[in-house]
Amino acid sequence: MEGLIDGVLPDAAELPGLVADLRTARSGISFVYDVIEKLAERYELSDAVMVLDHPELGRQAFRSARRPIGEASAMHLNVLECPEGVHGVPGGVDPVSASVAVELCRIALDLDLYRHDSRHDGLTGLYNRRFFDVMFRRCASQSARYGWSFSVVIFDIDSFKQLNDRFGHMLGDRVLQVVGAEMHHALRSSDVAGRVGGDEFAILLMRADRENVPAFMSRIRAAVEANMEMSVGFSFGIAEAPVESTDPAELYRLADARLMAAKGTKR
């Protein structure tokens, strides 16, 4: 992050404190809105819109007070046609400050993308193994401290290697993507899901016991089959906290062993 910020903005002194704010910002989007509010205050603007072009996100527009861009304003601004920069009412922002602000906000959006990519699997959009483990340890710690219950479910796709060998990796990747999408739709906001191996997934179901898991997995399988128009099977194993353990390694071992046992019954 230091290299991303340092040396890029020779005129950063035009907006004192913003570079320091960017170094400690937890959210790029929040930083962008903070910048707009500071510009509005500094230049006594009743309304302000920042328009910037991002290489990955495309054209982005942000309005002061987080107001919708489409609302009527004194600017009558068409963000698809106007130049990149900071547009305000009643006056404008000097070009140097506007340029610095836009570049800082572009970097802030970059940082949000980097944070997302460091935690998520690029194919399915679920958490990757590293960040799933972080969330798993957090849930296990809360279970040990407060007695909160959750189930860890590990599952994989039956005969996935044969599917890849027969139909090719593009279809295999599509199946994985659909599984990830259906998990996004089916899970509650409190639940956690990750892709932890090639065709292996793991879920943390908050305050759920093992009796509810088979029906949940059946719904996921039915949705995937309907989307792919082909038969897809899952094998899964379950462990419960705190009744069986609050140690994440032991819970994972139990669920994985039960997954292997379930697969053995299908051979």
The yes-or-no answer on residue 47 being catalytic is no
CA atoms of 109 and 95, how far apart (whole Å): 21
Q: Do the Cβ atoms of 172 and 164 come closer than 8 Å?
A: yes
Give the 3-state secondary structure of residue 28: helix
Q: Which of the residues 47, 156, 191, 199 is marked catalytic? A: 199
Q: Determine phi and psi for 154, rounding to 5 degrees.
A: -115, 130
Torsion of CA 241, 247, 251, 253, to 10 degrees: -170
Strands (E), the chain: 47-54, 58-63, 85-89, 150-157, 192-195, 200-206, 234-241
Taking the CB of residue 127, how many other CB atoms lie within 10 A of it? 22
Give the 3-state secondary structure of residue 10: coil
CA atoms of 34 and 105, how far apart (whole Å): 10
CA atoms of 241 and 232, how far apart (whole Å): 29
Residues marked active site are found at 199
